[in-house]
Amino acid sequence: MKNIDQHTITDAVVRSFDHCDNPRLKQILTSLVTHLHDFVRDVRLTEAEWSEGIRFLTETGHMCDAKRQEFILLSDTLGVSMLTVALNNNKPPGATEATVFGPFYVDDAPAAEQGADIAGDAPGEPMDVDVIVTSIDGTPLAGAKVDVWQADEDGLYDVQIAELGARRRARATFKTDAEGRLRFRSIVPSAYPIPTDGPVGRMLIAAGRHPWRPAHLHFMIEAPGHETLITHLFRDADPYLDSDTVFGVRSSLIANIAPARGSTPAKLTHHFVLALEG
């Protein structure tokens, strides 16, 4: 281990994992060190830049709490989240595609009944949602658990609004009926910028990138014997569909929202298809 230099240090670090008894951990650490060292050599990283990188990651950690996950935001904006989703969700033909989870999911969403208005006092245009959940062979999935969450017209999720405290709005969990259907009322989704008050936002600005996400609703659907589906439905004709800052748009997830007509609110319909486990 003496006299290690820029040419020999990578091999030395890799050899330090020789006694790791977890093959997968050893594989991940070895690849991480190899690629990270190659990156440092490729850009000829300066000590000042290394220090700035450490400061950036430290600030990213400081921005994380129970209501905000800045590291997920970082992963999202660098395309790592969507790459991981793509690698791990090779769905069969006909199954609904997955996309990024996002940083604003919480596990305390209130349970709601069919037909409920989940918007509460969230600002936005009323919208009826009517979806059906089936298996890959078309069998309706009764009793499937469906988590729904979205931002309000101002682009804010409930957990971003301090005045709401623990109160939830534009967020709920449901069970599909005997026909695999779910009906509820919410609000028409709006495009919004991801938070730019932290290190990830500063990175985007420095890189000349915009922070906008196209309008969407989040869905997480679980049914016995099927893969859990984490996905969005994106509003068609949104100006950011081709430049989503987290790279999450898929053509199959772009949904038409019928406009309001008189006293009839806007309406979103969709058919979700879950892949079988295994």
**Residues 259 and 159 reside in one and the same domain:** yes
**Residues 23 and 119 reside in one and the same domain:** no
**Residues 39 and 81 reside in one and the same domain:** no
Mean pLDDT value across residues 177-204? 96
**Residues 26 and 158 reside in one and the same domain:** no
Expressed as residue numbers, the domain containing 267 is 70-274
The pLDDT of residue 170 is 97
Chain-wide mean pLDDT for the chain? 96
Q: What is the DSSP string of the chain?
A: -TT--TTTHHHHHHHTTTT-S-HHHHHHHHHHHHHHHHHHHHHT--HHHHHHHHHHHHHHHHT-BTTB-HHHHHHHHTTHHHHHHHHH--PPTTSPPP----S---TTPPB--TT-B--TT--S-EEEEEEEEEETTS-B-TT-EEEEE---TTS--GGG-GGGTT---SEEEEE--TTSEEEEEEE----EEPP-SSHHHHHHHHTT---EE--EEEEEEE-TTB--EEEEEEETT-TTTTS-TT----GGGEE-EEPPBTTBPEEEEEEEEEPBP-
Residue 264 falls inside a structural domain:
yes
Residue 267 predicted with pLDDT over 80: yes
* Of 186, 192, 235, 163, residue with least CA distance to 104: 192
Dump pLDDT digits (tens) for 215-231: 999 999 999 999 999 99
**Residues 101 and 236 reside in one and the same domain:** yes
The pLDDT of residue 222 is 98
Residue 2 falls inside a structural domain:
no
Mean pLDDT value across residues 152-181? 95
Residue 23 predicted with pLDDT over 70: yes
Dump pLDDT digits (tens) for 128-156: 999 999 999 999 999 999 999 999 999 99
Residue 265 falls inside a structural domain:
yes
Residue 81 falls inside a structural domain:
yes
**Residues 175 and 38 reside in one and the same domain:** no
The pLDDT of residue 137 is 96
Residue 138 falls inside a structural domain:
yes
Residue 51 falls inside a structural domain:
no
Residue 61 falls inside a structural domain:
no
**Residues 75 and 37 reside in one and the same domain:** no
Residue 111 falls inside a structural domain:
yes
Cα 126 off chain centre by: 24
- The total of structural domains in the chain comes to 2
**Residues 219 and 113 reside in one and the same domain:** yes
The pLDDT of residue 110 is 96
Domain of 263, CATH number, reads: 2.60.130.10
User: The tokens of 255 are what?
Assistant: 């949904």
278 pLDDT tier (thresholds 50, 70, 90)? confident
Dump pLDDT digits (tens) for 191-209: 999 999 999 999 999 999 9
Residue % of the chain over a pLDDT of 70: 100
The pLDDT of residue 1 is 63
2 pLDDT tier (thresholds 50, 70, 90)? confident
**Residues 28 and 102 reside in one and the same domain:** no
**Residues 151 and 19 reside in one and the same domain:** no
**Residues 97 and 198 reside in one and the same domain:** yes
Separation in Å, CA 181 to CA 13, 49, 83, 114, 145 = 55, 53, 31, 9, 11
**Residues 186 and 221 reside in one and the same domain:** yes
103 pLDDT tier (thresholds 50, 70, 90)? confident
161 pLDDT tier (thresholds 50, 70, 90)? very high
